Structure formats: C-alpha cells, structure tokens
Structure 1
Amino acid sequence: MFIVVMYMGALNAKKPAISKLVGIRGELSIIACILTLGHNIVYGRHIFVNLFTNPAEMKPQALIASIISIIMIAIMLPLMLTSFAAVRKRMSLAAWKSLQRWAYVFFALIYAHVMVLFLPKFSEKYLDIIAYTFIFGAYAVLRVTKAVKTSKNTLPQREYAGKA
C-alpha cells in the first residue's frame, strides 16, 4: 500500500486515474500504517525484545533491520496521525508539509530495511531484490523529475541583464 501512496506523490495528480486516488491518499496511508504496525507486532515480539535485551546475540542483518524498523516507526507514527483529516486541519499548512517531507526518508528506509534482509539471501531473493530496486528506483526518478519541474515553475523568473 505504501507503494501506491508513494507513487501518487510522484505522478501527475491532474491525470484522471491519479486524481481519484489522491482523494483517498490519506486513508490509504493510514491503512498502510496500521498494516505495518501489525507487521511490527508480529515480528517485533521476538526481534524487538532481543534488540533491547540481548542485541549482541542477534545476527548483524537482524540487528541493523531492527534499528531501521525502530527509526521507521518513529517517523511513521507522526505521519500516520497527520493523515487523519481532524489532525491535519489543526495544523498550519507549512507545519504539515514540513512533517510530510519525512515520508521520503521513511520510503528510503523501507528499501534499506528490505535490502538488509534480502541481500544476505541473494541467491533466494534476487527476483525480490530486482523488483524492489525497480519499484523504488522508478519512484525516485519520477519524484525527482516532478520536484525539478515544480521548482522550475515556482522559481521567480529573472531577466537577463547581460548583453545579447
């Protein structure tokens, strides 16, 4: 679900298919967060307990993935809360936008988390690695392209002061 939420921010919201989804982007984000919290509860019952009680006994990739997960949860919870319309309406637009920029860090950490877990099992997970790399790489290209186009449209135009 986060992939759908990610791509909605990278694609042109004026396109009919995208505009329909943009209207429910907050709700989709909330659902994705709830599912992610469930994922963390299921895996965290053992892994997070080990992280806080006996990290030296953890495999390096499990330790790194757990630390990334804790950071992701710390970023995700405020993003989830501000996806509720009642919360969003109480915030200034500038504060909301500033907080929402953390979604880019969150998305990058999803990729890092998956790679930390999958790369040690490359022979088994190479198709997953290729798929995630394509999904996140294409998203990064689309999002950067949109940001560049948006910044060109919003930058003040300067007149050329030099001689022709």
Structure 2
Amino acid sequence: MLSIRAELAIIGCIMMLPHGFIYFIRFLILKLPKIMTEGKFPILYFSYIGIGIIGFIVMIPLFITSIKKVRRKMQGRSWKRLQRWAYLFYLLAYVHILLILLNESKIDWLRLSTYTMIFVGYMILRIFKYKNKQKIGLRVICNTNN
C-alpha cells in the first residue's frame, strides 16, 4: 500500500471535492436563508458545517502536493512538514462525522462506535510508530556517541 499511497490520497481527495462543494452550496442556498429567517441557530449544525469547511480547506494543499509533478518541485523537508497536516485533516473528518451523527434525532450507536474505533485505532498505531521512531533515533544517537 505504501507504493500507491499518493495515488490513493489523490483518489480520496477527488471523491471528497464534490462532497465539499455540493454540501457547501446546499448550505448557502437552502439552509442558511431558512435559518436566518427562523432565527434558530443550531450550534451542532453550524459546528459540523464549520469543521467540514476547515477540513476541506486543509485538504486542498494536501491534495495538490500529492501530485508527483508538484511534489518533485518541493523540497523534501517542506513537503513532509506540509503532509503532517493530514493528521489534522483526519481529526477534523472524525469530528465532522461525529457531530453529524450526534445531530440526528436518533443516534446510530453502531456507526458512531465504528467510526470511533477506526479513528482511535489509527491514532494508537500512529503514536506507537512515533514512539518507536523516537527509540530508534535515541539508539542511533547513543551508538554514535560510544
């Protein structure tokens, strides 16, 4: 999977683009005028819309820099630093889905727990990977000092 990771990210972003545009336009044209005339501002609704917009904005540079021609023009360190924003995107996507599920009249506990297990499992594995890299880095430093 590592060899096609960039391609999978590009495909995922292409699939997310219509979602972001359609729901943003739907929000501006259909929902916002209705909310303004009724005077009711559902906090949960605005929260998941806002988080979705922020996540979409974070996704755009990740998408662009996943393209090989763009990636080759960047320095490796700056590309890697930018790609770390993907973790923020994953968090925002999880919170966005969480708020959507909590905004429903009847909470689907199976979907909520499934998304939570996937996100928490991913974060635990990512933390383990980070800690292992730290240990390896310390071993290399200690071995070069001896």
Q: What band does the TM-score fall into relative to the shorter chain?
A: 0.7 to 0.9
Query: Is 1:152–2:129 an aligned residue pair?
Result: no
CA contact (8 A) 1:65 1:117 kept: yes
C-alpha distance 26-53 of structure 1, shift in aligned 2 (>3 A): farther
Q: CA deviation at 1:100?
A: 0.6
Query: Is 1:62–2:45 an aligned residue pair?
Result: yes
Distance 1:120 1:70 in 2: 17
Query: Is 1:88–2:71 an aligned residue pair?
Result: yes
Partner amino acid for 1:71? I
TM (norm. structure 1) is 0.76
Aligned equivalent of 1:13? none
Aligned equivalent of 1:129? 112
Greater share of helix = 2
Q: CA deviation at 1:134?
A: 0.4
Query: Is 1:97–2:80 an aligned residue pair?
Result: yes
Aligned equivalent of 1:106? 89
C-alpha distance 148-52 of structure 1, shift in aligned 2 (>3 A): farther
- Alignment size in residue pairs: 139
Query: Is 1:36–2:16 an aligned residue pair?
Result: yes
> Tell me, which stretches of 5 or more residues in structure 2 are unaligned?
none
Render the CA deviation track for 1:46-98: whole Å, top value 9, x for unaligned: 21455699666542222111111111111100000000010000111110011
C-alpha distance 148-122 of structure 1, shift in aligned 2 (>3 A): farther
> Tell me, which stretches of 5 or more residues in structure 1 are unaligned?
1-20, 160-164
Describe the SS at the equivalent of 1:98: helix
Distance 1:48 1:27 in 2: 32
RMSD: 2.3
CA contact (8 A) 2:58 2:89 kept: yes
Percent identity for Structure 1 against Structure 2:
34
